[in-house]
A and B are shown apart, each in its own frame.
Chain A
């Protein structure tokens, strides 16, 4: 079953979608964080494949990336770890995210085949806009990996429609003009972008960048189908929080989203 099919099913069942992020290899026991996310009710989990020059990421994800690289994490080692997943975590779709250099280095076909072999069903490449995506989109399709495209607050309407049409899995709505990282509020641009995307497509729309609290998640998910949560979780991981604690934080987001979707439950 594809990533998109699974997300559509969850949405059809009345759920708002919740996708936490973890940097692959950030700690020795990083898979325990991933398992905790699965236990907390994640609908999909984004796994960052560390790259030396993460130009779209703010300070927190940069720090996590550099820590993972310093520990010796590589694309190969992170995917090998993922291939070993078992239990509940194995049932949650995995979405890899990384920068295009790692794809070019391996070659798009080899890269996508390696994702598929590791059980990864989606791919986000934040420095690969629509105009440059043909080669990877073809390779991803062959490997049955959904290539997710991103939309931004400044994306003009005709291009937004193209992105929505070409994206697979879901459309990633970048909430704000900026990098990843915790913020105090959800930007107004997030709601506007999500509404424009939902007018343009039936594909699931997830809002990311700056979703830091349960309140943010509920707010953003009013217009979108769900949220991506990264830096807020990684800050805790970097500060030494246990998988139990970080999972608990995510579980509170899950409950808040469910409560907002079904206030009488």
Chain B
């Protein structure tokens, strides 16, 4: 249930979840997320920001997306303290790696998994630094924690003060040791920029980690790039809408929601999962449909393809 909600900088709301009976929640590692079943039937993935050592609660933090009619609006408008919420057990696609020094770089609300990482690294006595890029100081989430216990390891960069990521890069990107690890979370363009900068400075890709980049499905097509964005899938039959985050496939999201799907190869080569598209523009990632079929946009392989439109309505 929701034990507390608090404003965390302009536009963000933190939600503290506890078990109704006060018992400990399942353990999680820094970087993990939970699926939250929101009022209205939406399911969204949110990273846990609170320290993994504290199993009495999970703290999530959600930014109000002005364009959204979905998850973030539901969190901001419909969640109330005391309300019961169904969530999944935590899953981690963004785990900390062994390393001599950890550079955490957050853009905006991307702070949430990195904050948990900072807590875990601090508790473990590891060497780390946290860079937090915001548009203005008013937007900073979890300011008290950042100023308090994490203290001098935190570097705040505000665009208003001329310190956006294009102008100021974390100094730690230069002269990185071979066992240094870099963790990124934030808007895709932001992560692209930092990744490119790090690679230009000799970081190899295996030491650069970001949740959105996690290759969940081996995607054969060459254009399957890092630009993956979240989108919504709607079922034509029930009208239910689900969010497909950058790091998960339509099939995974629908499968977990109990929507019956037909799957076989799960890599876009067999066509078992081809599903009729009612509305929206698929981003075809399969190699089973011909170019003509793809151009027709009548069917989509839900095991690996994504969407070019904000929402896809499928004949399910």
Co-assembled chains A and B: no
A residues near B (Cβ < 8 Å) are: none
B residues near A (Cβ < 8 Å) are: none
